[in-house]
Amino acid sequence: MKYYLIAGERSGDMHGANLLRGIKNNDPAAEFRGWGGSLMADQGMTLVTDYSETAFMGFVEVVKNLGTIRRLLKKCQADLLAYTPDVLILIDYPGFNLRMAAFAKLHGLRVFYYISPKVWAWNQRRALKIKANVDKLFTIFPFETAFFKHYHYDVDYVGNPIVDALAAFVPNPDFKTQNQLSERPIVALLPGSRQQELQSMLGVMLAVAPRFANYQFVVAGVSNLPASLYPEGSKVVFEAAYDLLHVATAAIVTSGTATLETALFGVPQVVCYKTSGLTYRLAKWLIKVKYLSLVNLISDKPVVKELIQSQLTVENLTTELQKIIPTGSNRAQQLGDYAQLKLLVGEAGASERAGALTVKYLKQYLAQ
């Protein structure tokens, strides 16, 4: 069967690659085409557009790039119709993918969605658009089942794919040696994979380092961004976030998927987020959840400290980091809360379950 997939961000490329593996395990003759990155291409997908061309963050940034986004939408729509897949599979990335879902449905294509848009966080009536345009939705948070039930829409909860990624991780025993890291304890800095994130937060994160002379601060860098974005003199390891977390004592993390990854590695963290003033004001007006980080959202309580917008200062970050290093007052509590979080997230196998359900449902549709 023929599958067209769209992932518009770095994390989507990783989860998309794992989903492709799950589909192939259940449909060995599967053919793949779509948008994503090198990880999806490595699993046999013909890559039409790399996610580096599509990753725009924040309301203001999206508005600034509306012309580019429209061009990309038209390109994707034309390629989708030319390929005539048996199903379109969308992976997160809601601004783009919800439009593609409506377009595909209009043209009689089946639409599956893996990793639901966070409609429970803001603009909840988008759930009605999903119900109208998505044939099957595979969710990764247990509370999403009840949320969509409110809209009379049954979804398949498959578990969280981050657990799959961690289960497949094999630590590099030579990581410290290869990256010239000393035996001093490590504070991992995970500033994100978008240019706007690095420009907004990495400087503040690095400014804390001189106040912790007994620690080495190491940045998790990504190769899809120019190396010049990482300040000269800072210690950066590229494409090795999991190896870095494996040896880290504490972490400072930009809000996003990395907060959950850090927690599942058992590394105490401070969560940061800063964007343009207009984007923040719009988000504060629209977002309907109590917390920003996935750790706190899933736990439904403030497990990790969130320093958002004006709260993200060198002084505040220093204070909060002191609380979670080995001598800190909050470290034991955070680690205990992590243990409960792991129970809520569940076991590995999300990608395999989603892949198996994709093939099962698609075969049922084709048999009708």
Q: What is the pTM for the complete model shown?
A: 0.77
Check pLDDT > 50 for residue 33.
yes
Give the count of beta carbons closer than 10 Å to the beta carbon of residue 310: 10
Check pLDDT > 90 for residue 281.
no
Q: How confident is the model at residue 59 (pLDDT cuts 50, 70, 90)?
A: very low
**CA dist., res. 154 & res. 131, Å (int):** 9
What torsion, rounded to 10 degrees, do the Cα atoms 213, 216, 220, 226 define? 70
Domains in the chain: ranges and CATH: 2-159+349-367 (3.40.50.2000), 172-345 (3.40.50.2000)
Q: What pLDDT, in 10s, does the model give residues 323-365?
A: 999 999 999 999 999 999 999 888 899 999 999 999 999 999 9
Nearest residue to 136 via CA among 364, 336, 314: 364
Check pLDDT > 70 for residue 79.
yes
One-letter amino acid at 316 equals: N
Q: Tokens for 276, please give them.
A: 């343009």
Pick the range with the lowest mean pLDDT from 56-70, 127-141, 228-242, 322-336: 56-70
Q: What pLDDT, in 10s, does the model give residues 131-186?
A: 999 999 999 988 888 889 989 999 999 999 889 889 889 999 999 999 999 999 99
One-letter amino acid at 259 equals: T
Which pLDDT belongs to residue 203?
A: 93
Pick the range with the lowest mean pLDDT from 51-55, 99-103, 250-254: 51-55
Pick the range with the lowest mean pLDDT from 47-61, 75-89, 160-174, 332-346: 47-61
Mean pLDDT of 72-94: 95
Q: Tokens for 127, please give them.
A: 């759930």
Which pLDDT belongs to residue 279?
A: 53
Which pLDDT belongs to residue 110?
A: 98
Name the residue with tokens 């603009």: 123
Which pLDDT belongs to residue 60?
A: 45
Name the residue with tokens 């497990």: 303
Which pLDDT belongs to residue 233?
A: 86
Mean pLDDT of 285-313: 84
Which pLDDT belongs to residue 70?
A: 86
In whole numbers, what is the pLDDT of the chain averaged over residues?
90
Q: How confident is the model at residue 285 (pLDDT cuts 50, 70, 90)?
A: very low
Check pLDDT > 60 for residue 284.
no
**DSSP states of 282-312 as a string?**
HHHHHB--S-SSHHHHHHTS--SEEEEGGG-
Q: How confident is the model at residue 200 (pLDDT cuts 50, 70, 90)?
A: confident
Q: How confident is the model at residue 95 (pLDDT cuts 50, 70, 90)?
A: confident
Check pLDDT > 80 for residue 53.
no
Q: Tokens for 339, please give them.
A: 């243990």
Which pLDDT belongs to residue 101?
A: 97
Which pLDDT belongs to residue 197?
A: 83
Mean pLDDT of 194-218: 92
Do you know the residue count of the chain?
368
Nearest residue to 86 via CA among 132, 7, 23: 23
**CA dist., res. 249 & res. 322, Å (int):** 12
Beta strand segments in 192-292, E: 216-221, 235-238, 250-254, 269-273
**CA dist., res. 302 & res. 295, Å (int):** 8
